[in-house]
Amino acid sequence: MQVFQNLNAMKEICWRSMLVVMVVITVSSLCAAQETIGPTDSDAERFALEIASSPSAKRTELVAAHPERITVALRRQLIQHGNMRFASIEYAQALEIYQLVEKISDQIGDKEGVATSWLNMGSVYYFQGDYARAIDHYRKAEAAFAALNNHSEAGRCRFGIALTYQSQRNFTEALKAFGEALKEFETAKNTTEIANTLASIGGLQYEMGNYEAAQKSFLRIVE
């Protein structure tokens, strides 16, 4: 019995670690896109640091006082600051920054920024155990990324939904959501995420006692 308890604990740690990686990957992809446009806006970087280092009330004042500095570059920098706090398990602080990103992205019509903030907020709620809000934000983000034709990010949203259902031990819905995530990653030809999702599907099928199906999923990873 103790062996199975330890195994379940290890799987839970792995699932949560994968969710952290999802957030980091989101930022990395945005930074890569930024590099194709041009160098990092140093002014946006400094302003983002000032905002992130200030109390929440001061942040609102800074943003309101400098509307001309509210740009996509600033949003990208703020997302990185939110992720640093997320990775440091400072969930409340990360959530505040993501919520600010949502507001300023909406202000400048940055749909990608809004979708990214929802995805990351969903992950914060997941780690806080607020599963209803996590799923709500993942679904909003998925719809927004789908509208932008961004299949990789839409897949990560569905992956987050799957993990949330799995944490609730709603295995049927989790398996369905993993399958939806897999389709998005296949459309995007994202082989790394395809392999990760197949591993999650195989692990869940094994846990459900569907050993033959689990074997097929694991064999697909090898392919």
Q: Which of 114, 118, 86, 97 is nearest to 21 (CA)?
A: 86
- For residue 39, the 8-state DSSP code is S
End-to-end Cα, the chain, rounded Å? 34
pLDDT of 155 over the 60 cut: yes
Work out the mean pLDDT of the chain and round it to a whole number. 86
CB burial readout 61-97, b (16+ within 10 A) else e:
eebeeeeebbbbbbbbbbbbbbbebbeeeebebbbbb
CA atoms 209, 134, 18, 192: torsion sign:
positive
Question: For the purposes of burial, counting CB atoms within 10 Å of the CB of 31, is it exposed (0-12), middle (13-18) or buried (19 or more)?
Answer: middle
Q: Which domains does the chain have, with CATH numbers?
A: 2-222 (1.25.40.10)
| Overall average pLDDT of the 200-212 stretch | 95
Whether pLDDT at 9 is above 90: no
Q: Is the pLDDT of residue 28 over 80?
A: no
Whether the predicted pLDDT of 118 surpasses 80? yes
What CA–CA distance (Å, rounded) separates 23 from 28? 9
How far apart are the C-alpha atoms of 64 and 83, rounded to whole Å?
23
**Statement: residue 24 has pLDDT above 90:** no
Q: SS3 string of 159-183?
A: HHHHHHHHHCCCHHHHHHHHHHHHH
Q: Which residue has the higher pLDDT, 34 or 88?
A: 88
Residue 38, pLDDT score: 37
Q: Which two tokens mark 215?
A: 């074997």
| pLDDT(7) > 90 | no
Q: Give the model confidence (pLDDT) of 38-61 as tens digits.
A: 335 688 999 999 999 999 889 989
Query: Are the beta carbons of 24 and 94 closer than 8 angstroms?
Result: no
Q: Are 216 and 208 in contact (CB under 8 A)?
A: no
Dihedral sign for Cα atoms in the order 107, 112, 117, 122: positive
Residue 47 near residue 74 (C-beta atoms within 8 A)? yes
Contact status, residue 82 vs residue 98, Cβ threshold 8 Å? yes
User: Which amino acid belongs to residue 32?
Assistant: A
The pTM (predicted TM-score) of the whole model is: 0.82
